Amino acid sequence: MRRSIPHTALAVTALALALAGCGGQTDSGKGGDSGTVSSSPTPAPSTTPTLTPSPSPSASATGCAPAATLDVHDSGRTVCLSVGDTIRISLDGTAKRPWKPVTADGSGLQAVNSGFVLQPGDASAAFRAVSDGRTRLRSTRPLCATQTGRVSCLGIQEWWVTVVVK
């Protein structure tokens, strides 16, 4: 006796396998990644809403750090700066999973020269706090590497930080 499998069950199984293959790919890139790609493009909420860099002797009375360097692990955080401080962003990507340039939406920050990006796929930016305000810094990159002739996905990894200038 022959068993028959409905076509919809085959289609669902094929789709699940294709999506599972994308979420389990490894990234041969540089630091900033744990080596595996998350299947969730949105970062989990941070339990610590404020980035607290190592104590600095020149920190202001409000508790804002005079300067901060952010990377991929700071996504979802809120950073507090004082007018005159500079914030630097360095996102390590790969040629197959490059970060888009960091954009700023809001007020209080002015873009300054961040230096050179030496590796393909990296994003680098720097901003000076020029007035009171709130700005959202953002960048994205593909969740899965794109390779000709291979299964890929259209997922996006988002990086964002809120900067409050006091």
Share of the chain above pLDDT 90, in %: 43
| Residue that wins the pLDDT comparison between 23 and 119 | 119
SS3 162: strand
- In this prediction, residue 152 has a pLDDT band, given cuts at 50, 70 and 90, of confident
Whether residue 62 contacts residue 166, with contact meaning beta carbons closer than 8 Å, is answered with yes
| Residue that wins the pLDDT comparison between 108 and 10 | 108
Whether residue 91 contacts residue 113, with contact meaning beta carbons closer than 8 Å, is answered with no
Q: Which residues contact 24 (CB under 8 A, 6 or more apart)?
A: 36, 37, 39
Quick: pLDDT tens for 56-98. 334 444 444 445 899 999 999 899 999 999 999 999 999 989 9
How far apart CA 33 and CA 37 sit, in angstroms, is 8
How far apart CA 68 and CA 86 sit, in angstroms, is 7
Please name each of the domains of the chain with its CATH number. 7-165 (2.60.40.2020)
Whether residue 102 contacts residue 138, with contact meaning beta carbons closer than 8 Å, is answered with yes
Residue 154, pLDDT score: 85
- In this prediction, residue 132 has a pLDDT band, given cuts at 50, 70 and 90, of very high
Residue 50, pLDDT score: 42
Q: Which residues contact 46 (CB under 8 A, 6 or more apart)?
A: 76, 77
Q: Which of 33-37, 116-120, 134-138 has the highest mean pLDDT?
A: 134-138
How far apart CA 101 and CA 137 sit, in angstroms, is 10
How far apart CA 71 and CA 154 sit, in angstroms, is 23
How far apart CA 55 and CA 37 sit, in angstroms, is 32
